[in-house]
Amino acid sequence: DTGVSQNPRHKITKRGQNVTFRCDPISEHNRLYWYRQTLGQGPEFLTYFQNEAQLEKSRLLSDRFSAERPKGSFSTLEIQRTEQGDSAMYLCASSLMAAAVNYGYTFGSGTRLTVV
Amino acid sequence: SQQGEEDPQALSIQEGENATMNCSYKTSINNLQWYRQNSGRGLVHLILIRSNEREKHSGRLRVTLDTSKKSSSLLITASRAADTASYFCATVSMDSSYKLIFGSGTRLLVRP
pLDDT in tens, B43-52: 999 999 999 9
pLDDT of amino acid B6: 86
Q: What is the pLDDT along chain A (116 residues), one digit of tens a residue?
A: 569 999 999 999 999 999 999 999 999 899 999 999 999 899 999 999 999 999 999 998 889 999 999 988 999 999 999 999 999 999 999 998 766 677 889 999 999 999 99
pLDDT of amino acid B1: 47
Residue A107 burial class via C-beta count within 10 angstroms: exposed 0-12, middle 13-18, buried 19 and up = buried
- pLDDT tier, B2 (very low <50, low <70, confident <90, very high otherwise): low
CA distance B13 to B29: 31
Helix (H, G, I), strand (E, B) or coil at B39: coil
CA distance A69 to A51: 7
Give chain B positions within 8 Å (CB) of A89. Answer: 40
Answer whether A43 touches B (CB < 8 Å): yes
Instruction: Give bridge partners of residue A37 from the DSSP assignment.
Output: A89
pLDDT of amino acid B70: 94
Give chain B positions within 8 Å (CB) of A4. Answer: 42
Of B30, B41, B103, the CB nearest to A109: B41
pLDDT of amino acid A8: 97
CA distance B16 to chain A (A): 26
